[in-house]
Homo-oligomer: A and B are copies of this chain.
Amino acid sequence: MTKVKLDDIDLQILAHLQTDGRMTNVDLARQVGISAPPCLRRVRALEESGYIRGYHAEVDAESLGFEVTVFAMVGLASQAESDLVAFEERVRAMPLVRECWMLNGEIDFILKIVARDLAEFQSFLTRELTPAPNVASVKTSFTIRNGKHEPGVPFGLPPRAPRAR
């Protein structure tokens, strides 16, 4: 199931799809220098072996009315593995929490939270996050603006022309 090795073409495919996840298979094949059918076979294999976890439209949060993005640093009272997992599970059920990373050091988790407005965020913070079991401390930092937002991983793909359909 898991592919043992990726060659240059696979890496190029991944880089291109990370940049433009909706490009057609024929365009992709042309870009990486092979014909469409083997290209599609590679993409399917990359999907099934888990190298590609999914495809997502990147939406503009602000213009859609989600004007509050906050990073929350969370400390837990107990760091037993079962308690860490329990917190992650709980956080997974909170739609406003978009990302959750476990950290080393004094802070246990960093959460990226997206809300429509301050009221929604405050309500979430005081009624859901802070009172959650085992939560010892929550320190929040509001984002003022986003200076860079690149997906995934630094493949180092050269700048690409817009789509040709």
Contacts and interface: CB of A to CB of B under 8 A. Distances in A.
Interface of A: 2, 6, 14, 17-22, 50-61, 63-64, 66, 69, 71, 87-88, 91-92, 95-105, 107, 109-110, 114-116, 120, 141-154, 156-157, 159
16 contacts: A14-B64, A17-B59, A19-B54, A20-B54, A54-B57, A56-B56, A61-B153, A64-B153, A88-B148, A98-B153, A99-B149, A103-B141, A103-B142, A105-B141, A110-B141, A115-B154
Number of copies: 2
Given A114-B153, A141-B107, A148-B98, A57 B64 contact: no
A101 B53 CA distance: 25
